[in-house]
Amino acid sequence: MILTVTLNTALDLTYRVRSLRPHTSHRVTEVIERPGGKGVNVARVLAALGHETTVTGFVGGATGRAIRDRLSGTPGLTDALVPVAGATRRTIAIVDELSGDTTQLNEPGPQIAPTEWGAFLDRYEELVPGASAVALCGSLPPGVPVGAYANLVRAARAHGVFVLLDTSGEPLRRGVAARPDLIKPNADELAELTGSHEPLRATQDARRRGAHAVVASLGADGLLAATPQGRWRAAPPARIHGNPTGAGDSAVAGLLSGLVERLPWPERLARAVALSAATVRAPAAGEFDPAEYEELRGRVVVAGVVSAA
C-alpha cells in the first residue's frame, strides 16, 4: 500500500470557455468536478496504474463530502481522511479553448484546530507502518504547524518507510532538514530553497541540505534528477499544451510507482514525464488517457548529465 497525505485537500473545478477575456462575461462550455489536492491527485493516478493506495489528510463541509463521495467509487483507493469542522477549499481552473492556456484560482484551506491536528497524527501513526511508501504533498492549511512535514518525514523514516516530500517555502525548507528520501520541487521552489537558479547546481545543493534524492520539475522541459545512483534529464518528445493542473502530481505518482516496482531511475523518470504530459493533455485536472500515456512513454528522452562543478 502507498500512503498519500493531503493536508489541504480541494474540490477541483475545471471551467472551459471559448476565450478568456478580463472585464467581460463568459459562457462556460463545460464544467468538470473532481476530488483534488496534490496527494489526492497522486493517489488517483496510482490507483489507475494498479497500485493499492490510501489517502489521508483533512476534509470538511459540503466540499469535503463531495470529495469523499467521488473517491468512494475509485477501485484500489482507500479513504482514510480525517473530518474537520471547517469547509474544504475549492480550486478553479479556467481553460481558454482558443489559446490553450489555463488560469488557476486557489481558495485558502480551512482553519485546523489543535485537536484536529492531533487526530490526524494518530491516524498517520496507524497507517505508516503498513505503507511501502509515503507521499507528503501540497500546502499546509491554517492552523497546521509550519514544521509539520518535518515531523511526518521523521515518523516515516522511524518506521523504515520511503518518504517523498512535495511542498514549497518554509515547510519544504524544514522538511528537507528531516532528510526525506526524495523531494520533487519545481524550478521556482528549488531556487527559493537553495538560492540557485541553475537547476543542476540547485539539485545538488538540496541534497547537501538533507534530501537523499531530488527530482526537479522544469515545466515543459521535463524533469531533472540528482540521485546517489546518477543524474538524468528526462524530456517529453514535444511541447505539450493543455491544462497543467495535476501534472506534477502525476509525475509524483510515476516516481512512486516506479520505486515500488523497483524500476531503474531512467525508467521511473520516463514514466513520470509521460504521465505528466498525458495529464496536461487531459480535459480534467489530475486525469490521463492510458493509451496516450503509453504512446508518450515510448518517446520520452532520458539522458545522463555531467555533475556541476
Q: Can you tell me the distance from the alpha carbon of 49 to that of 288, in angstroms, rounded to the nearest whole number?
A: 11
pLDDT category at 99 given cuts 50, 70, 90 is confident
Residue type, 257: S
Give me the phi and psi of 166, to 5 degrees please.
-135, 90
- The residue-averaged pLDDT of 184-205 equals 94
Task: State the average pLDDT over residues 276-302.
Answer: 82
Answer yes or no: are the C-beta atoms of 285 and 12 closer than 8 Å. yes
Q: Which helix (H) or strand (E) segment is 294 a member of? A: helix 290-297
**Confidence (pLDDT) at 221:** 87
pLDDT score of 295: 82
Q: Is this structure's pTM higher than 0.95?
A: no
d(CA 292, CA 301): 16
For residues 60, 64, 69 and 74, what is the CA-based torsion angle, rounded to 10 degrees? -110
d(CA 108, CA 11): 12
**Mean pLDDT over residues 57-77, rounded?**
94
**pLDDT band with cut points at 50, 70 and 90 for residue 296:** confident
In the chain, pLDDT over 90 holds for what percent of residues? 73
Distances (CA, A) of 198 to 6, 109, 261, 296, 308: 30, 33, 32, 27, 9
Name the pairing type of β-strands 162-166 and 10-17.
Answer: unpaired
- How confident is the model at residue 285, as a pLDDT? 60
Work out the average pLDDT over 238-249: 78
User: For position 307, what pLDDT does the model report?
Assistant: 61
69 as an active site residue: the answer is no
Which tens digit of pLDDT belongs to each residue from 11-40? Answer: 988 899 999 998 999 999 999 888 999 999
Q: For the purposes of burial, counting CB atoms within 10 Å of the CB of 38, is it exposed (0-12), middle (13-18) or buried (19 or more)? A: buried
Instruction: Indicate the Cα dihedral angle 74, 182, 234, 45, nearest 10°.
Output: 0
pLDDT of the residue at 309 = 42
pLDDT in tens, 245-262: 788 999 999 999 999 999
At 284 the pLDDT is 66
In contact, 249 and 241? CB cutoff 8 Å: no
Output the pLDDT for position 289.
83
pLDDT band at 51 (very low <50, low <70, confident <90, very high): very high
The least confident of 15-19, 95-99, 209-213 is: 95-99
Four-CA torsion 198, 204, 206, 208, nearest 10 degrees: -140
DSSP sequence for 102-170: EEEEE---PPPPHHHHHHHHHHHHHHGGG-SEEEEESPPPTTS-TTHHHHHHHHHHHTT-EEEEE--HH
pLDDT reported for residue 100 = 79
DSSP 8-class letter at 219: G
**Angle, in degrees to the nearest 10, between helices 169-177 and 187-194:** 60
- pLDDT tens, position by position, 110-146: 999 999 999 999 999 999 999 999 999 999 999 999 9
Walk across the sheet containing 28-36 and list its strands: 28-36, 10-17, 89-96, 102-106
- What pLDDT is stored for residue 286 in this prediction? 65
Facing residues of 54 across strands? 3, 78
Band of pLDDT at residue 75, cut at 50, 70 and 90 = very high
Active-site option among 79, 205, 249, 289: 249
Mean pLDDT of the chain: 92
C-alpha span between 37 and 57 (Å, rounded)? 10
